[in-house]
Structure 1
C-alpha cells in the first residue's frame, strides 16, 4: 500500500534528485542537534528516502555516512544527492529495519539516524526496529530518532491530530507512536534516552547504551 503523505509527488530534478519539502525544512534543525553531540566514525541512516539529509549533513559532521532504504527506487535520488557534495557518503544499501536480525548482519555503528519513520509503520514493526537499535549501536555510540509523537496517548496540536488521523484512515495499523512507549522499547533494548523538543512540534530522541555516560 502506498501512503498519501504531504510530500507525495515531490519534484524530481533533471539530475534525479527528489526535492522533498519536509526533509529540506527539517535538515537544518536536525543538523544543529547532531553537531552538538560530538559524533565520530560511521553513521547508519535508516530510511534515507531522497538522500537529501545525507548530502546536507555528512560533510558538516565529518562522518562516513551509510544511506539505506527499503525501496531500491530511492537509490537513484540518494546517489544523485551524494554526487552534489564532497562528503564520505557510501553507496546506498537495501535495509528493511523492521525485519529481525539486520543488526547482526550489518554490524555495529558509531551513530544511527532515523527520521520520520516510526509513525509510518505498524507498532510491531516499530518494536522490532527499536530492539535492533540496541544491537546495532557500538559501545559509546548514539542513536538519534526524529519525528512526531503522541504524549500520554494524545496529539499535542491540531495539525498532528489531523495527520495522525489521516495515516490511520489509510492504514489502521500505523500512526503516531506514544513517546513513553518508544522510550520504553528503547529501554528494553538497553538504551537510555533523552528528549529534545524540535520545531513543528517534533521531538529528537538521543539514545545511548544505559551504561554510557551522557
Structure 2
C-alpha cells in the first residue's frame, strides 16, 4: 500500500503558470473533470486556488492511491475523491461534463487512445463545455524546440506508441466533438495550453 505521496517536479514547476490561465477560463462555478490526474498535485493546487470550482480528479486505478494521499493531506471540501477512469472505458463514471482539464497526458497516450478520448468526450460533454489541454505539441509536423525533439525520442524509446502529438490532428479530433479553439497559449518549457469551447 502506498504511504508516501508521489511527487512530480514538472507539476511543481508548471502549476502556477497553468493556474494563471485556467482561472480566467474556469471562472464560473462548475465541476472540472481532470483527465489523468497523475500524482494529484495539480488537483490540490487548483482546488485550493479556485474555490468556486468542484475539482474531480480521475486516473487509472493504479494511480488513485497516490492521489488520495495528496487529497487527504489537503483537506479541501471542493476537491472530490478521485475516480477510476481509463479513456478506453466504454462507460465513464458520469452523466455529463461541463469542464475538462488535462495536463501532460496526450503525449503519454497512443494515437488510438487520444482518438478514444475525444470519442468519449463527444458523448459526455455538455452543450456549453470548455476544455483545457496542457502539454507539448508539434505544428505542421515540426518540433517547436530541440528539447521537445529529445523528449519525443525519450518517450518513443520508453513506449513506441507514445509521443508528442500534432496540433492539427488534435484540432481535427476536437472538431469531431464540437470543440473549437479559443486560445493557444505559449507556456514555459516549450509547452502550450489550448483552450477549447463547444460551439454555440
- Once the two structures are superposed, what CA deviation does each residue of 1:128-183 show, in whole Å capped at 9, x if it has no partner? 10222233222222111110011110111111000101112233221110001101
Q: Aligned partners of 2:194, 2:122: CA distance in 1, in Å?
A: 14
**Which structure: greater strand fraction?**
2
How far residue 101 of structure 1 moved from its aligned partner, in angstroms, is 4.2
Q: Is 1:170 aligned with 2:158?
A: yes
Partner of 1:84: 73
Q: Is 1:190 aligned with 2:151?
A: no
Greater RCO, 1 or 2 (C-alpha within 8 Å, sep 6+) = 2
Q: Aligned partners of 1:52, 1:187: CA distance in 2, in Å?
A: 30
Native 8 Å contact 2:34 2:101 kept in 1: yes
Q: Aligned partners of 2:4, 2:122: CA distance in 1, in Å?
A: 34
Q: Could you tell which deviates more after superposition, 41-50 or 135-144?
A: 135-144
Q: Helix, strand or coil for the counterpart of 2:138?
A: coil
Q: Aligned partners of 1:15, 1:29: CA distance in 2, in Å?
A: 29
Match of 1:59 among 30, 35, 48: 48
Q: Could you tell which deviates more after superposition, 193-202 or 130-139?
A: 130-139
Q: Is 1:107 aligned with 2:103?
A: no
Native 8 Å contact 1:131 1:186 kept in 2: no
- Once the two structures are superposed, what CA deviation does each residue of 1:2-21 show, in whole Å capped at 9, x if it has no partner? xxxxxxxxxxxx96321210
Gaps of 5+ in 1: 1-13
Match of 2:13 among 25, 29, 39: 25
Count residues in correspondence. Answer: 195
Gaps of 5+ in 2: none
The alignment's C-alpha RMSD in Å is 1.7
TM-score (norm 2): 0.90
